[in-house]
């Protein structure tokens, strides 16, 4: 009788361990699916928020956000360029544009899109 109770207790413990293993495996699979979903979202946000300076081609970053653009700081040829907004001439400011629209060709980045 004692051996029978001991075997039943062992079976109950093994069954509980198997149930916990199955539950943890399901949670791990669910967490993996969510991680892939979040990775996809972050990739889309990174693409959407990627910007570069139209003039010096510096990528937008924390360090570059408050830095000066050497091209707009005082280039006299800049004033003659019709694509450059008047407030940018001599300001030293970067003109951040989406990376897909970067280029120095007037057809790529129309002045009225700024």
DSSP line for 26-63: HHHHHHHHHHHHHHHHHHHHHHHH-EEETTT-PBP-HH
Q: What is the pLDDT of residues 26-64, one digit of tens each?
A: 999 999 999 999 999 988 887 777 888 888 888 888 788
Whole-prediction pTM: 0.46
The predicted model gives 2-9 an average pLDDT of 94
- C-alpha to C-alpha distance for 25 and 59, rounded to whole angstroms: 42
Q: Which residues contact 93 (CB under 8 A, 6 or more apart)?
A: 68, 69, 72
Name the band, by pLDDT with cuts 50, 70 and 90, for residue 90: confident
pLDDT of 67 over the 50 cut: yes
Q: Which helix (H) or strand (E) holds 79?
A: helix 77-80
Name the band, by pLDDT with cuts 50, 70 and 90, for residue 78: low
pLDDT of 5 over the 90 cut: yes
Share of the chain above pLDDT 70, in %: 79
The predicted model gives 71-80 an average pLDDT of 67
């Amino acid at each position: 009788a004692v051996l029978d109770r001991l075997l039943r207790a062992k079976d109950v413990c093994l069954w509980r361990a198997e149930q916990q293993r199955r539950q943890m495996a399901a949670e791990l699979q669910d967490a993996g699916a969510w991680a892939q979903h979040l990775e996809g979202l972050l990739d889309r946000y990174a693409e959407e928020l990627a910007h570069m300076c139209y003039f010096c081609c510096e990528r937008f970053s924390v360090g570059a956000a408050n830095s000066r653009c050497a091209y707009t700081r005082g280039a006299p040829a800049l004033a003659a360029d019709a694509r450059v907004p008047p407030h940018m001439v001599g300001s030293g400011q970067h003109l951040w544009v989406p990376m897909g629209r970067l280029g120095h060709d007037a057809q790529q980045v129309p002045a009225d899109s700024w």
